[in-house]
């Protein structure tokens, strides 16, 4: 293996994990590590403080460094730092899903121009090998669909809400206390993290550039204990699902939102902080990859794996790995959420008057919506009733029209929630 000199940008959980794993490889030398706070105490045995710098440009401008490992995250100033590294002839290994989702096209074009390799296995699903398998062993396939649980924080919260009948707020607090959720959990619970990841997966799977700004995104903050209870009674569990699919007309449907997942479905069995990715392709059929989607060691496994692939290829040739080059000249034609077709769960608060369920059925029928299941969850103290509806396959725009009509009806007080269903 070619001896490599590397610089690491970012020294948090993942960066520390990468440092620890690399101690077992004598042909890889860490030259510098860029950190935000150079005076922070590092809980690492025999650590050489001279490796640290608070100036990442000291790494990307160092002619001795071959590869830049970027695990700092974010877009600014990381985008400019990596552009500088590429222009200076540094190969890149990154775990930065947000940067790749937002600015990947420009980075890959610049890398191609400079004969540079960018590897990013760790950017999606932590320790689960998915990027390189899609680019190599699965490249003979036409992948048509992805359905995945890509965020461990939200999956942990929803698991605990289901297992212990907790409210969202209580489950979130537990996740924060255990280190599964950040103090500000917005990136996870509002679906941003999963959206970045499905953007990357869809782009490489469908060979068309997916625009992160056109991905429908909805988080889990509106999920209630009542939703969890109703889903369970109907034979479902609730998961935050990231999905992408190629439609018959060639258009692309990519979105992130909570779904009622049938308990018979494999993704319904993925609990706590675990991630799972289902791929459908031809000729391979359906594949499922499951494992740790985050954390120091799983993510470091992917980062160092990329680094070793890079070292091996550079020993044989100084040309980029063909599978690592992203050529997405075609831009995907993405459909809006209003044009998607789904089965739906609708939770309705109605006045406990005769005919309320009939009104729901009439309005749904008027909007081309067939109901497969309808149930009433008792009577509340204020003489209101909770009505839960599961529809057959319907168009999103028809559903939204029906909801607008329902809330105008005298016997309907409000729509508590609308969720899509996966069987």
Task: State the Cα–Cα distance between residues 239 and 347, nearest whole angstrom.
Answer: 17
Instruction: Name the 3-class secondary structure at 258.
Output: strand
Let me know: does 199 contact 212? Beta carbons within 8 Å: yes
Contact 153, 275 (CB under 8 A): no
Task: Give per-residue burial for 240-272: e unless 16+ CB within 10 Å, then b.
Answer: bbbbbbbeeeeebbbbbbbbbbbeebebbebbe
Helix (H, G, I), strand (E, B) or coil at 122: helix
Kindly report the number of other CB atoms within 10 A of residue 404's CB atom. 12
* C-alpha to C-alpha distance for 418 and 222, rounded to whole angstroms: 10
Contact 186, 127 (CB under 8 A): no
Q: What tokens does 86 get?
A: 């590429």
Sign of the CA dihedral running 257, 261, 266, 272: positive
How far apart are the C-alpha atoms of 374 and 372, rounded to whole Å? Answer: 7
Catalytic-role residue among 197, 208, 209, 239: 197
Peptide bond into 283 cis (omega under 30): yes
Give the separation between CA 19 and CA 76, rounded to whole angstroms: 24
- 197 catalytic residue (yes or no): yes
Evaluate whether 221 touches 202 at the Cβ level (below 8 Å): no
192-206 vs 97-113: helix crossing angle, rounded to 10: 40
Catalytic site positions: 197
């Amino acid at each position: 293996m070619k001896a490599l000199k590397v610089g690491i940008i970012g020294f948090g959980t993942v960066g520390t994990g990468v440092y620890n794993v690399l101690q077992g490889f004598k042909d890889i030398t860490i030259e510098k590590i860029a950190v935000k706070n150079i005076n922070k105490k590092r809980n690492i045995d025999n650590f050489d403080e001279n490796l640290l710098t608070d100036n990442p440009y000291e790494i990307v401008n160092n002619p001795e460094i071959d590869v830049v490992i970027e695990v700092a995250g974010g877009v600014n100033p990381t985008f400019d730092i990596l552009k500088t590294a590429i222009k200076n002839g540094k190969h890149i290994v990154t775990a930065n899903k947000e940067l790749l989702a937002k600015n990947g096209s420009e980075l890959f074009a610049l890398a191609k121009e400079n004969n540079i390799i960018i590897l990013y296995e760790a950017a999606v699903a932590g320790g689960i090998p998915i990027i390189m398998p899609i680019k190599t062993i699965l490249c003979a396939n036409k992948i048509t669909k992805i359905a995945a649980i890509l965020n461990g924080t939200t999956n942990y919260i929803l698991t605990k809400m289901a297992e212990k009948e907790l409210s969202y707020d209580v489950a979130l607090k537990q996740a924060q206390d255990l280190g599964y959720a950040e103090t500000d959990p917005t990136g996870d619970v509002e679906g941003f993290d999963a959206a970045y990841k499905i953007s990357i997966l869809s782009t490489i799977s469908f060979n068309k550039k997916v625009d992160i700004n056109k991905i429908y995104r909805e988080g889990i903050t509106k999920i209630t204990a009542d939703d969890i209870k109703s889903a369970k009674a109907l034979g479902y569990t609730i998961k935050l699902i990231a999905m992408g699919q190629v439609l018959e007309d060639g258009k692309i449907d990519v979105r992130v939102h909570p779904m009622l997942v049938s308990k018979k479905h494999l993704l319904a069995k993925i609990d706590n902080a675990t991630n799972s990715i289902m791929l459908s392709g031809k000729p391979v059929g359906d594949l499922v990859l499951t494992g740790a989607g985050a954390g120091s060691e799983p993510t470091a496994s992917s980062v160092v794996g990329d680094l070793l692939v890079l070292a091996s290829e550079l020993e044989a040739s100084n040309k980029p790995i063909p599978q690592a080059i992203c050529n997405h000249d075609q831009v995907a034609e993405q459909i809006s959420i209003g044009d998607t077709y789904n089965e739906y769960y609708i939770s309705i608060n109605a006045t406990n008057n005769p005919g309320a369920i009939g009104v729901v059925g009439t309005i749904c029928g008027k909007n081309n919506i067939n109901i497969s299941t309808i149930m009433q969850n008792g009577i509340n103290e204020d003489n209101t009733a909770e009505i839960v509806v599961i529809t057959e396959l319907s168009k999103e725009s028809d559903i939204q029209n029906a909801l607008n009509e329902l809330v105008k009806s005298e016997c309907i007080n409000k729509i508590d929630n609308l969720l899509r269903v996966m069987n």
